[in-house]
Amino acid sequence: MTYRDILYETDDRLAFITLNRPEKLNALNNNLRGEVMEAMREAEHDDSVGVIVLKAAGRSFSSGYDLSPARTADDDEYVDPRSKLPYTGTTHPGATQWSRHVVMTNWTIWELAKPVVAQIQGHCLAGGTELATTCDFRIVTEDAQIGYPPVRAMTTMDMMWTPWHLPPAKAREFAFLGDSFSGTEMARLGWANYAVPKDELDDFTEKFARRMGHIDNEMLMYTKRSVNRQYESMGIREGLHSGTEIQALSAQRAAAAEWGRRVREDGLKAALEWRDGPFRDFRGAYDSAPKERPVAGT
């Protein structure tokens, strides 16, 4: 199969899917997301593959969803020709359906018969955290930055995963502030399985995945299914889907219009600097970012 925004290869019992937009910090456009899910299905169908490793080219796992017009797919092979979104079984018509689509797309990995190991370096932000969280395991560099800055001015999290993976106080901190947590901290909190030095990430992740690959495919499938069904009994499906409805409501609040206006009038980079300026991180670390500004909508 031919892919444009990812790389796909197999080696013995492992399949490697690599996000391959390093010049954009692997921002998640619709085509890339569609290709990831198609490659996941390809690896699932290959009897020789036991474990899937999701990794990324360049210095960051993913900066989140592509917020530029480039996010929209055109005639790409791995998206629905009607909606231009990755296939989920519906075209998601109407406004404020983005987060619902995100969760339904990510369920592909949840329902996959084979375990998926996310290998994470650099930035893992916003939609990048959602993609990584849906994987079964996460191995990060110690200095990785995991965060969700859109909650500062745009909307609530598209996929409200924090209460399922973090202690309550830290789940709230992550979801309210969008600040970045280090890979070391996220391993301590239990979101990541391991945090390792940057130069050991490839080797450690591969050894971890190959160790799991000694188990037969059906056993891996049934173990994954058994664990997932426990979370489903506790309500994870309903919880994440209800979060998409709250995200849609948050997009309609009065202050949300200011974010859109700044993107239209000043451009995306300037809007990101405005969003992060008072926090002095991400785009707010730039000298041109407004360190002091009124609260949006006031």
pLDDT in tens, 89-148: 999 998 899 999 999 999 999 999 999 999 999 999 999 999 999 999 999 999 999 999
pLDDT digits (tens, 9 = 90+) for 49-87: 999 999 999 999 999 999 887 677 666 789 999 999 999
Whether residue 163 sits in one domain with residue 83: yes
What's the one-letter identity of residue 65?
Y
For the cut 70, the answer to whether the pLDDT of residue 155 exceeds it is yes
Whether residue 82 sits in one domain with residue 36: yes
Domain holding 112, by residue range, is 6-200+210-250
Whether residue 273 sits in one domain with residue 147: no
Q: Is 181 part of any domain? A: yes
pTM of the model: 0.95
* Tokens coding 257: 């219009």
What's the one-letter identity of residue 183?
G
Q: Is 87 part of any domain? A: yes
Q: Is 187 part of any domain? A: yes
Whether residue 65 sits in one domain with residue 153: yes
Whether residue 241 sits in one domain with residue 268: no
Q: Is 150 part of any domain? A: yes
Whether residue 273 sits in one domain with residue 134: no
DSSP assignments along 74-86, one per residue: SS-TTS-TTT-S-
pLDDT digits (tens, 9 = 90+) for 208-265: 999 999 999 999 999 999 999 999 999 999 999 999 999 999 999 999 999 999 999 9
pLDDT of residue 189: 98
pLDDT of residue 279: 95
Average pLDDT, the chain: 95
Q: Is 1 part of any domain? A: no
pLDDT tier at 180 (50, 70, 90 boundaries)?
Answer: very high
The structural domain count of the chain equals 2
Calculate the alpha carbon distances from 231 to 152, 158, 237, 238 in Å: 29, 19, 8, 11
Q: Is 205 part of any domain? A: no
* CB-based contact 63:24 (threshold 8 Å): yes
Q: Is 174 part of any domain? A: yes
Whether residue 273 sits in one domain with residue 188: no
Please give the Cα distance from 201 to 25 (Å, whole number): 18
pLDDT of residue 77: 85
Whether residue 157 sits in one domain with residue 91: yes
Whether residue 196 sits in one domain with residue 143: yes
Whether residue 31 sits in one domain with residue 104: yes
Whether residue 186 sits in one domain with residue 103: yes
Whether residue 224 sits in one domain with residue 295: no
Please give the Cα distance from 288 to 272 (Å, whole number): 11
Q: Is 23 part of any domain? A: yes
* CATH number of the domain bearing residue 76: 3.90.226.10
